[in-house]
């Protein structure tokens, strides 16, 4: 529980420190072979856009509808390029009926800038915790 609290505190503190909002994203996701819809919002940190905080929400059909909410920290390689690659770490919160579950995200992803306002993204991560599983999401920022 201490690790979850520390990661949550780090993500929340970093998100408020001079973050620049950058676009909304929509996509499709898979969590342990269950499909769903996914929305996300990015916040860039640092003068060179080297760090991102990404807030995500998704609705997945896992026998019953499940809401998943993530806050991830990205360290961006090639921040000035149109192709950005990043590892990620974050927290996950899932709601299903009356069950609440927490987890820690580890993974990575990439974005490709098509123009000033449009980017494609793909991301893979492992959620470790109360509800272990693998997630893959892909979509577009606008």
Q: Which domains does the chain have, with CATH numbers?
A: 2-141 (2.40.160.20)
pLDDT tens-digit series, residues 33-81: 889 999 999 998 888 889 999 999 999 987 788 899 999 999 999 998 9
Average pLDDT, the chain: 86
Closest alpha carbon to 66 in 40, 92, 37, 95: 95
pLDDT tens-digit series, residues 110-119: 999 999 889 9
Spell out where 32-142 has E strands: 34-45, 51-62, 64-75, 83-96, 99-113, 119-129, 133-141
Rounded Cα distance between 74 and 8, Å, is 14
pLDDT at 89 over 90: yes
Rounded Cα distance between 117 and 11, Å, is 26
Residue 16 has a pLDDT of 46
pLDDT at 5 over 80: no
Residue 37 has a pLDDT of 96
Q: For the chain, what percent of residues have pLDDT higher than 70?
A: 85
Rounded Cα distance between 118 and 94, Å, is 29
Q: How far is CA 55 from the centre of its chain?
A: 6
């Amino acid at each position: 529980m201490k690790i979850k609290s520390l990661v949550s505190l780090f993500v929340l503190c970093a998100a408020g420190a001079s973050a620049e909002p950058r676009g909304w994203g929509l996509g499709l996701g898979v969590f342990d072979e269950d499909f769903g819809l996914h929305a996300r919002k990015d916040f860039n940190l640092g003068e060179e856009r080297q760090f991102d905080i990404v807030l995500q929400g998704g609705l997945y059909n896992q026998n019953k509808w499940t809401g998943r909410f993530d806050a991830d920290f990205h360290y961006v390689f090639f921040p000035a390029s149109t192709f950005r690659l990043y590892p990620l770490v974050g927290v996950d919160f899932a709601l299903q009926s009356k069950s609440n579950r927490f987890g820690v995200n580890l993974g990575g992803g990439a974005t490709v800038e098509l123009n000033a306002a449009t980017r494609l993204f793909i991301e893979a991560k492992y959620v470790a915790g109360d509800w272990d599983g693998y997630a893959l999401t892909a979509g577009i920022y606008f």
